[in-house]
Amino acid sequence: MMNKEETMLKKRLVELSNTAYHRDIAVFSDFLNLNELNILHTIPKNMLPARYETWGGYDLSERQMAAFLPDALCFAYPIKAVRVTPVNRRFSEELTHRDYLGSLMNLGIERCKFGDILTDGETAAVFVKEEIADYIAENLLRIRHTQVAASVQDMTEIQYTPRYETLKGTVPSVRLDTVLAVAYPLSRSRLVPLIEGGKVFVNGRLVTSNGYHLKEGDIISVRGTGRIVYDGVLSGTKKGRYMVSVRKYI
């Protein structure tokens, strides 16, 4: 059952779809987290007169913006990338995702106004709503004790190659819980509560059944833990099990 905030979000998304349909224009949401994307995906189709797409600025983005679109309309997402680099790399700290997130929130920016933060420990790229990109570039001057410079970049300038490790294992069937066990060294008694507790999403949709059957290419997000891609079955074994492969993003 939805709480008050979730009910209001659902109503807002339906309103955006109606606006796009009746005014024949592209209408965009704020950045939506996994729970919010799931609410969007589970709204009955007859309540959304305009079709929608979602994107977060790069492939495999977790936080994404929804675009509600009339038919045959060309559009561009109002997303900009802000590159953050230390002014003096020699004296800079190794900054984490949490550090960048905290500094952005300290600027008074709501979390829904920016999407994923990609960091390599030295620099970061933040995907933001177009309307706040310049504000961040002008005001994000320090993260922890490190002086930084922020600049708005064209989306084509952001080159992101995710780091991952390929893991293989044998499973009795291609179920969500057994495939997750290949990626995460957790017992079934610890994995099942994660799934049934609403922590696992497949392609942006909440899945609470540990017996959910996966398809090749499915993206699985475990809230607070990370993401994996199920690459499929490599071979069968003589005992009727399956050798599967997953990519676990680092």
Q: Do 245 and 203 lie in a common domain?
A: yes
The proportion of the chain whose per-residue pLDDT surpasses 90, expressed as a percent, equals 75
Residues 227 and 127: their CA atoms lie apart, in Å, by: 19
Of 60, 146, 162, 64, whose CA–CA distance to 103 is shortest?
A: 146
> Distances from the Cα of 188 to the Cαs of 29, 91, 192, in angstroms?
37, 45, 6
**Mean pLDDT for the stretch of residues 8-28:** 96
In a shared domain, residues 181 and 110: no
Whether 99 is covered by a domain: the verdict is: yes
pLDDT in tens, 80-122: 999 999 999 888 888 999 999 999 999 999 999 999 999 887 8
- The per-residue pLDDT for range 50-79, each reduced to its tens digit, is 999 999 998 888 999 999 998 877 889 999
Whole-angstrom distance, CA of residue 102 vs CA of residue 109: 10
Residue 179's nearest CA partner among 141, 137, 207 is: 207
Same domain, 30 and 87: no
Burial-class residue 157 by CB neighbours within 10 Å (0-12, 13-18, 19+). exposed
69, 89, 118: which is the final residue of a domain?
A: 69
**pLDDT at site 225:** 82
| Residues 99 and 153 reside in one and the same domain | yes
CB-based contact 139:133 (threshold 8 Å): no
Handedness of CA 143, 147, 152, 158 (dihedral sign): negative
What is the average pLDDT across 154-160? 76
Residues 150 and 169 placed together within one structural domain of the fold: no
Q: Is 84 exposed, middle or buried (0-12, 13-18, 19+ CB in 10 A)?
A: buried
pLDDT value for 249: 87
Find the CATH number of the domain harbouring 239. Answer: 3.10.290.10
Please give the model's pTM, rounded to 2 decimal places: 0.86
Our count of domains for the chain comes to: 3
Residues 100 and 83 in one domain: yes
Q: Please list the residues that pair with 80 across neighbouring strands.
A: 128
Give the end of a domain, one of 157, 176, 207.
157
* End residue of a domain, out of 157, 178, 198: 157
Cα 214 from Cα 12, distance rounded (Å):
31
- The domain in which residue 146 lies consists of 79-157
